Structure 1
Amino acid sequence: MKKKSSVTGALFALFVMGILAYNCASNSKPKEPATSTGPDPIVLDSAFLNHRDSVPSKQQYADPLFELSHDYPASVTPVVNPPWQQALKGKPISEWNVFAYMDSLKSYVAPRLLPFFTNNSTWTSAKYGWFNEPWLGTQREAILGTYLGNGNPANMFKTLKEDESGYVLVLYDSTAAYTVGQIWGKTGQSVNLLNDATQFTEGSVIVKLAFSNINYPQWPVMENAQTFSVYDTIPTSADPATGYQMRKVSFFQMDVIVKDSKAAPKTGWVYSTFVYDKDHKGSTWEKMVPLGAMWGNDPGVNSPLAPPYPKLSETVINPLAPAYSKETLGWGGRLSGPNDGAVAQEAYDVSTGKKYTNLPLSSCMSCHSPAQDTFKSFLLPGPFPPGNKLLVYTPGSDKWNLWFRDDYGNVPFDSGQVAMDYDMVMAFKSVLAFEAAKPSEQNKLLRSNAETVQKFRRHNTRSRFWH
């Protein structure tokens, strides 16, 4: 495998870092970024740009570079009686059948995803029926097409002794990609929000692959994890060189989410997370074990800040999942993976000024719930950061609980907005990048809020816990 090792948190990690800092696009030759005190020129027609223009030389990497898959389907075939629904055997999803549901999803995506791991040098999204989101080319590194997602500060995990950066690749199946095409059309030069264009079709499947730039032995839990090469600038203790370099990353999390209103009538979605377990026998694929699943935010459970937690009815966590993966579960034990940034090492109560440490403050669905056309509400339960501190509403308060509702995907987080059906990457990465490239008075609030978060991150490295 030639892409193997030849080489935070809102879910949010560095989505704003690429919003106003674009490079000129040229996918043909290696190029070191110029030093500049201001934003780089924006590429106005970069909707379907494959990746940024800093690429490895042929001597560094001889295989093909990442190609964006954007020929979105113009029609969609209804998904009838899918295997994940069959796995429930006619019963409501629960702790008794949720892992069978997850296994069926993993088996469903396997034929078109396994080649990514077994023969990566010839794998492309389009070749295996996957599609990618537009407008992120200037944020994608050139080899895998990943962009910075979430990072974890040192000591977020007991075994993590240095800052970690996460890289992610999002894949839409053909059913889900139909909706992507309804939003962006054939050119990607406008955003369609009319007639429920943002609502995904039943049976849509979206996969997110996550990779860590801290590998074994620096992070012991990554022992024997499959590694890949990316071409990026972030140094580590094991790889301290600066500038663009071939760098090694370890595959450690896979999210598979499915639009399934039958199993999840309140929200329309089931989120499932698989994590790397070094002690599990088998191949890389077999070592990806269930962390858990969720299909709602359990709004009826006002959880305390520390265990023991009341039992949840819309999240199930695998008790046999590796210990590290459970260190960053969300509020009250709600689902959140090690790449998902649901724990803040330091936060302050906006009302009382109280300092919280290692605060579980989110979940997979909580963080995705503010996905709407305007970046009006923050991804975490608090206001936009006004300075260098992360402020949160009092845990368990009415304001806090706004982030833990069970709303269907067509219900906006804020009234007057257009809901984007829990698609965080579309709302907070693709649309933001598009709006940054085409600024107008109409998107002034969106850009202002994004710049506020960008400024907060620039002056506070401990903000590295977001998606």
Structure 2
Amino acid sequence: MLRRAIAAAAAVAVTAGAGSATYKQNKRFQEDGIKQFHRASFNQPPKGWTGPVFEPSLDFPRHPPNGKQSYPYPWETIDFKKEPEKYLEAVLNYCFEGNIETDFVPRNNKVRKWYHAPWMTQTPFGREPLHGLTFERPAPIGYLGKSQKRLLQTWAMGMYNEAGGYTLGQVWTKKYEPTSKPEGHSLKFPNGAVTFKLLFSQANKHDLPFLDGSPTWKATIARKPFDDYGGPSVERTEPKDLHLLQVDIAVRDRRAGDTTGWIFGTFMYHDSVKNESPWKRLMPVCLMWGNDPGLDQKKYDEGYRPKESWVNPAAIKALEIPHAKRPYLGWLDRGNGPVDNYISSCLSCHATANTPRLELTFKTGKEGNIIDKEERIVLFFRNIAAGDPFGFVGDPLDYSLQLAAGADSNDDWREHWLEQQQPKFLSQFFGRGGTEWQRPGPPLSTFPEHKLAARGIVLSDYSDKEKSEVVQ
């Protein structure tokens, strides 16, 4: 509250100094914001690094591509409820065409264009410089199987196709600030919008034998996964080998309009899958198109199971579920990814995409059961239509947590920028002329626990030993 009050006072001061113009019309504010929009990573490449570095693809389409789509997308002829594996395979092949051979560098893809979400670089959660990977939920000891004896950091990179990229561009028309209501109405991705995410783990084949042969990327990861504020440290390691663990896909499919309008799916790397390309040794994990509203603990105990998720029994076996750290893949057997928090599901998590960020956390008991109030559980596992709001505060961002993270980072950066304009005013509170704020991004104090929870990170899931880990 104090920090926002300071920012508000600074905004008044900046506005007053600019005559009748608001700070958003301030030329320096706009120029600094545009620089942040194009910023490639949170930290710089390590000294002496001579390999490739990440360059974001931000030249978004100005017109929706669906108008020139004269043929169906390859998955549109597949009944996702009857043939979930076939649907997953069609989407995955679409996502990987032209990307595998170019190491997922969009400018080199000759098949189709792909885009990154901007404003993912302002905090320690943000992109590292070698592959543009962002910090994701670490896997607690034993979460991915009995052989996992240490906490494992997870880092990810996501991309959007042209239909998705068009929507990103509508949100970030001004670059220095987002709009959550392009053309005056709630944000909604068009049919055919696709996003996928590659999740890499600090694990190796000794931690998780099924990762043997997994594609490897170099990345500068957090020296500590949990710094004093609860998230990854500012300090980064020298380049480390990370291994592909999980691939997520999400599709705006009008045929799922009776539930959410979105179809989410997940794969995991597994060495038992035979394919010449390591990138395609992927085992389908799940596909989901709804949250199965009303499926609570009582009904689950009575024998009811999700009807709006398909979960692959082979993946459950590979992940040794259930076990002490994980009674389900997703909450009460809903669809979810291997590294994701089991008290949620793919859709329930992404449905909270909103600006400003929503404060939603749950507590679990010793048996892994959610012990929060029943009405909060019912609220969380609803079927929310594409473009509809999750709650009653702010504006929905149509299941895009990357848009939500970007808007959140922009909000923190704006306050940070305003504070920097008034060092004398700040010195009254901090006695250092505002120098506390001279970080590459906002102060770490801006990340209370609910912002960690928005990224699937619940600090109580980790032991004190895990939280004090330092990567050498």
TM-score (norm 2): 0.72
Q: Map of 1:387-402 to 2, 5 A cutoff?
A: 394=371, 397-402=374-379
Q: Counterpart amino acid of 1:183? A: V
> Which residue of 364, 367, 371 corresponds with 2:353?
371
Q: Map of 1:47-446 to 2, 5 A cutoff?
A: 47-58=37-48, 61-78=49-66, 79=69, 81-88=72-79, 93-94=80-81, 96-115=82-101, 119-120=102-103, 123-128=104-109, 129-138=113-122, 139-156=126-143, 157-185=145-173, 187-194=175-182, 195-196=184-185, 198-234=187-223, 243-282=236-275, 283-303=277-297, 310-321=304-315, 323-325=317-319, 327=321, 329-342=329-342, 361-378=343-360, 380-381=361-362, 394=371, 397-427=374-404, 429-439=405-415
Q: Do the aligned partners of residues 304 and 277 (structure 1) sit closer, same or farther apart at CA in structure 2, a change above 3 Å counting?
A: farther
Q: SS state of the match for residue 367, structure 1? A: helix
8 A contact 1:135–1:430 mirrored in 2: yes
Q: SS state of the match for residue 438, structure 1? A: helix
Deviation at 1:166, TM superposition (A): 0.5
* Percent identity (aligned): 23
8 A contact 2:359–2:450 mirrored in 1: no
CA deviations over 1:91-114 (Å, ceiling 9, x no partner):
xx32x3111111111222221322
Q: Do the aligned partners of residues 309 and 83 (structure 1) sit closer, same or farther apart at CA in structure 2, a change above 3 Å counting?
A: farther
Q: Do the aligned partners of residues 431 and 216 (structure 1) sit closer, same or farther apart at CA in structure 2, a change above 3 Å counting?
A: same
Bigger radius of gyration among the two:
2
8 A contact 1:171–1:206 mirrored in 2: yes
Deviation at 1:452, TM superposition (A): 4.0
RMSD: 3.2
Q: Counterpart amino acid of 1:411? A: D
In structure 1, what is the Cα distance between the partners aligned to 2:281 and 2:452? 39
8 A contact 1:381–1:393 mirrored in 2: yes
Q: Do the aligned partners of residues 458 and 407 (structure 1) sit closer, same or farther apart at CA in structure 2, a change above 3 Å counting?
A: closer
Deviation at 1:312, TM superposition (A): 1.6
Deviation at 1:229, TM superposition (A): 0.7
In structure 2, what is the Cα distance between the partners aligned to 1:454 and 1:111? 35
Q: Counterpart amino acid of 1:99? A: E
Structure holding more helix per residue: 2
Q: Counterpart amino acid of 1:234? A: R
Deviation at 1:223, TM superposition (A): 1.7
8 A contact 2:157–2:197 mirrored in 1: yes
Q: SS state of the match for residue 168, structure 1? A: strand
Q: SS state of the match for residue 245, structure 1? A: coil
Deviation at 1:221, TM superposition (A): 2.6
In structure 1, what is the Cα distance between the partners aligned to 2:388 and 2:363? 20
Where does the alignment leave 5 or more consecutive residues of structure 2 unmatched? 1-31, 226-234, 417-443, 468-472
Give the count of matched residue pairs.
Answer: 374
Q: SS state of the match for residue 453, structure 1? A: helix
In structure 2, what is the Cα distance between the partners aligned to 1:319 and 1:339? 17
Q: Do the aligned partners of residues 322 and 298 (structure 1) sit closer, same or farther apart at CA in structure 2, a change above 3 Å counting?
A: closer
Deviation at 1:364, TM superposition (A): 0.7
